[in-house]
Amino acid sequence: MNLFIMYQLVALGMLGLGLYGMLLRRRLIGMLIGVELMLNGAGLSIVTTAQLTPASAQLGQLGTLLVMGLAAAEATLVLAIVIVIYRRFNTIEEQKISTLKG
Amino acid sequence: MDTMAYIAFGFYTIICLGGALWAVTRRSLVRAFAGLVTSLLGVAGLYFLLAAPFIGLMQILIYVGAVAVLIFFAIVITGASREAQERITTTKKKRCLAVLAGLIPASFLAMAITKYSLVTNNTPPQVSMEDLGRALLGPYGLVFELISVVLFAAMAGAVLLGFKRRQ
């Protein structure tokens, strides 16, 4: 059990918890919190691989920076969509915002 | 010195996973948000331990500073903290399925990682901030420009969505 595997297991724990949270939450913001947890796990995994293996450390750190930028863009858009949904349906529960009833 | 590093690793791991667990199990969204911030700070600590201080600082600046505030404003605006009072019962079956859905991919990947070991070193290399900046403006300049375009598009889209349509 070396250091690399321990860091990767922490990242995988965040992935698992994020997936669990995303599937279980009823409200869109709760699902977004799950997604953020998963993205953080991914960033941690990338930095670990870059720093603790012979792979290019510089490239890994830059990749994580880009993941952070994408996460910020994604959070902005999701929250704008949440606000639009809230205006239209007055709720952000995913069960109640379906207008196409099957 | 080595044991100190392991103690710090354990400490940050507990913050990280404990915060994440708190974030996905609390019913109230404000509490879940607090758990998310704790978890993000734990990840920043792990970045510092990995000798990537710039990434750690960016984690605090971008996630804890910007994304967390954004999420908090969304919770406040949509009144999600009030809605939390009504108890929503989650069926046991759904909960079990969610646990499985989180556990299966994570355990599969963990098996792959522990089985096929890579060549690893326990002392991470130092990359100076200057090198990172030079790489971003040199060989990876296109990526830098593209991410700014993506951020601009997201910002413009958010502003567009936020406008109230006149009746």
DSSP conformation letters of B74-128: HHHHHTHHHHTTS--PPPHHHHHHHHHHHHHHHHHHHHHHHHSPPP--SSPPP--
Instruction: Say how far apart CA B106 and CA B116 lie, in whole Å.
Output: 16
Between residues B116 and B41, which one has the greater pLDDT? Answer: B41
Contacts of B161 in chain A (CB under 8 A): 77, 80-81, 83-84
User: Please, which pLDDT band fits residue B116 given cuts at 50, 70 and 90?
Assistant: confident
ipTM given for this complex: 0.89
pLDDT single digits (tens) B123-134: 888 888 898 889
Residue B1 confidence (pLDDT):
61
Question: Contacts of residue A8 in chain B, CB cutoff 8 Å?
Answer: 110, 113
Find which of A15, A28, A29, A64 to mutate to test the B interface (most B CBs within 10 Å of its CB).
A29
Considering the segment(s) A3-89 as one domain, its CATH architecture is: Orthogonal Bundle (1.10)
The pLDDT, as a whole number, for residue B43 is 94
Residue A99 has pLDDT above 80, yes or no: no
pLDDT at A24: 87
- CA-to-CA separations, A29 to A20, A67, A76, in angstroms, rounded: 14, 20, 12
Interval B7-15 mean pLDDT: 93
User: What are the start-end ranges of the H helices in chain A?
Assistant: 3-24, 28-52, 57-89
The predicted-structure confidence for B63-98, as pLDDT tens digits, reads as follows: 999 899 999 988 888 876 665 555 556 778 888 888
Q: How many other C-beta atoms lie within 10 A of the C-beta of residue A37? A: 30
Residues of A numbered 41-100 whose beta carbons fall under 8 angstroms of chain B's beta carbons: which are they? 43-44, 47-48, 51-54, 57-59, 61-62, 64-66, 68-77, 79-84, 86-87, 91-93
The pTM assigned to this predicted structure is 0.89
Task: Closest CB to B132: pick one of A27, A52, A61.
Answer: A61
| Per-residue pLDDT reduced to its tens digit, A18-57 | 999 998 888 888 889 999 999 999 999 999 999 988 888 8
Residue A43: burial class (beta carbons within 10 Å; 0-12, 13-18, 19+): buried
Mean pLDDT on B16-29: 90
Ranges of each domain in chain B: 2-89, 128-167
State the nearest Cα–Cα gap between A99 and chain B, in angstroms. Answer: 20
Please tell me the distance from the alpha carbon of residue B56 to that of residue B46, in angstroms, as a whole number. Answer: 8
Question: Cα distance from B161 to chain A (closest Cα, Å)?
Answer: 6
Nearest to residue B47, comparing CAs of A56, A58, A43? Answer: A43
Q: Which CATH fold would you assign to the domain B2-89?
A: Four Helix Bundle (Hemerythrin (Met), subunit A) (1.20.120)
